[in-house]
Amino acid sequence: MQAPSRGARSSASVALEPGLARLRAEPALPARGAYARYGRPCLRAALLVASVVPAALLGLPIALLNALYFRSLREVLFRQERVGLGGRVFWIHKFRTMRSDEAGAFHSWCNGQDGLRVTLFGRFLRNTHLDELPQLFNILRGEMDFIGPRPEMLEIHAWACERIAGFARRNSVRPGLTGLAQVTLGYADKDAAQYRKKLLLDRTYIARRSLRLDLSILARTLAWIALGRGWRHAPRAGEPR
């Protein structure tokens, strides 16, 4: 999956302006309570320290295997614009798991072709969430947190905002590496009903954030990784499972 060109991004920005205008109307929530002010930053710092060595040990061989498969060091990672805190757009980083699509990632998502583009090794990375390891850089930069609503592609966010009232409210907190919606619903295809459930879970998390809930989501995420349930996809006819 290749990042859109500068011209393509400019065109997309114009097309998405109504959706992004709704985003900007949702300010970031102020930190309230001892956990929000002190507990979450401490938990984030502890998780970052604890993840540095494992991320390096796992990330280096993954990068090597991706370089061998795609025959290019430039294809090891991909970055993509996502909607973050307060509607601000940032670049998210992942290990590449898909073959490129000239029509673009949103076109592929709309037509249900994501599963056809995923490599065999990429499927393993997605099922174990290891493709998300590079997002530790996003957490270090303050663009993401370990737990929170997953950041959406600009086009998907605009699509959801047009169909679901209040969808932009999930951007009142930092997006997360994992979240309540992810460990409950898994992967959501182009389905407005699924995205409504996703929004309900995200808003539930935002309203009830606590150390207990965060630790519960972390534990459930580890269980999903162990069970290989990180990415659900129902193969189409003729598609390898």
At residue 12, does pLDDT exceed 50? no
Q: Identify the pLDDT of residue 127.
A: 84
Asked whether residue 27 carries a pLDDT value surpassing 90, the answer given is no
The verdict on residue 159 lying in a domain is: yes
Tokens, residue 205: 């998390």
CA-based angle 67:106:11, to the nearest 5? Answer: 105
- Confidence at residue 5, expressed as pLDDT on a 0 to 100 scale: 44
- 68 lies in some domain: yes
Structure confidence by residue, pLDDT tens digits, 180-191: 998 888 777 778
Residue 41 resides in a domain: yes
Q: Three-state SS for 220? A: helix
Q: The domain containing residue 107 runs over which residues?
A: 6-227
Number of domains the chain is built from: 1
Give bridge partners of residue 83 from the DSSP assignment. Answer: 89
User: In this structure, is residue 239 part of a structural domain?
Assistant: no
Position 21 scores a pLDDT of: 42
Whether 3 has a pLDDT exceeding 60, the answer reads no
pLDDT digits (tens, 9 = 90+) for 143-163: 999 999 999 999 989 999 999
Residue 234 lies in a domain: no
- Taking the C-alpha atoms of residue 14 and residue 159, their distance in angstroms, rounded to an integer, is 14
Least confident of 51-60, 111-120, 159-168: 111-120
d(CA 99, CA 119): 7
| Cβ proximity of 3 and 92 under 8 Å | no
With beta carbons less than 8 A apart as the criterion, state whether 153 and 144 touch.
no
CB 161 within 8 A of CB 167: yes
Residues whose CB is less than 8 angstroms from the CB of residue 115 and which lie 6 or more positions away in sequence, other chains included: 233, 235, 236, 239
For the residues 70-89, what does the mean pLDDT come to?
A: 90
Average model confidence (pLDDT) for the chain? 80
How far, in Å, CA of 41 to CA of 23, rounded?
A: 25
Q: What is residue 228's predicted lDDT score, i.e. its pLDDT?
A: 76
233 belongs to a structural domain: no
* Residue 210 included in any domain: yes
DSSP string, 192-209: HHHHHHHHHHHHHHHHH-
